[in-house]
Amino acid sequence: MIAPVALDSGAIPVALDPGHPSKPGDTGCVSPDGTLFEYDYTLSMSRMVAKILRLMNSQIKPVLLRERSDEVVSLKERGKRSTDAGAKLVVSIHVNSSVNNRQHGCLGFHWPRNWMGRDISNAILNAMPPQIRSKWLSIEALNKPDTPDDDWLDAPRDVMRYHPATTILTELPYASNANDLKALHDDDVKLAMCMAIVTGILQMPLYLPGGLYG
């Protein structure tokens, strides 16, 4: 078994925010065949991202904002947890869904005019496996954006606004699309999606004081 690398004393906290539930009964999306529940899937993926970061990088300290599948954490409480952890970046992970089952691929959102968030979100999207890669670049998190979006997320900004740190929202492929759902269940694709998220996160030090763009 490969042991995690020892964290540097100045390791940078990065909050991983598994989407849903933010209130009782909130499962997020559910695939048409009932094989995928967003709240459970996002926690599994967040745990995998955290594990990869612990194995790969001593300068990043991953912090999960939700620890258990049955844990209900409000959006406001998630903001408090990321603040208490001193997070410099928050990555909120979700699964997309739409009444239009032809919609497919990943989406990314960043806070308007936050270039660090935009660039990290784009790095994640560009590193996604080809079969689920979107033609879209990261989208500014505006209320009711004029973009292909899932049914519950009328206001991407609401998911992000409680975090003082740079925050991005990564929408994994559509559970409502048959090919995307197959990809979501494929172990190799799941690992590749997690590696894409890690690729984006590892860009963060470049934007902090002392970094190339800081």
DSSP state of 91: E
pLDDT at 194: 98
Ranking 81-90, 142-151, 158-167, 176-185 by mean pLDDT, the lowest is 142-151
Which has the higher per-residue pLDDT, 154 or 99?
Answer: 99
Tokens describing residue 98? 């739409």
C-alpha to C-alpha distance for 194 and 172, rounded to whole angstroms: 10
Give the pTM. Answer: 0.91
Statement: residue 51 has pLDDT above 70: yes
Domain ranges of the chain: 12-207
pLDDT at 2: 54
pLDDT at 6: 62
Which has the higher per-residue pLDDT, 186 or 10?
Answer: 186
Q: What is the pLDDT of residues 63-86, one digit of tens each?
A: 999 999 989 999 999 999 999 999
pLDDT at 117: 96
For residue 27, count other CB atoms closer than 10 A to its CB: 11
C-alpha to C-alpha distance for 200 and 36, rounded to whole angstroms: 25
Of 90, 112, 93, 65, the residue nearest 173 (C-alpha): 93
Of 55, 26, 71, 50, the residue nearest 197 (C-alpha): 50
pLDDT band of 149, cuts 50, 70, 90: very low
What is the pLDDT averaged over residues 137-161? 66
Q: What is the mean pLDDT of the chain?
A: 90
What is the pLDDT averaged over residues 136-165? 70
pLDDT at 202: 95
pLDDT at 64: 98
Domain 12-207 fold: Aminopeptidase (3.40.630)
pLDDT band of 7, cuts 50, 70, 90: low
Pairing relation of β-strands 107-110 and 166-174?
antiparallel
pLDDT band of 152, cuts 50, 70, 90: very low
Tokens describing residue 142? 């505006």
Task: Tell me the DSSP string of 25-62.
Answer: T----B-TTS--BHHHHHHHHHHHHHHHHHHH-SSEEE
What is the pLDDT averaged over residues 47-61? 93
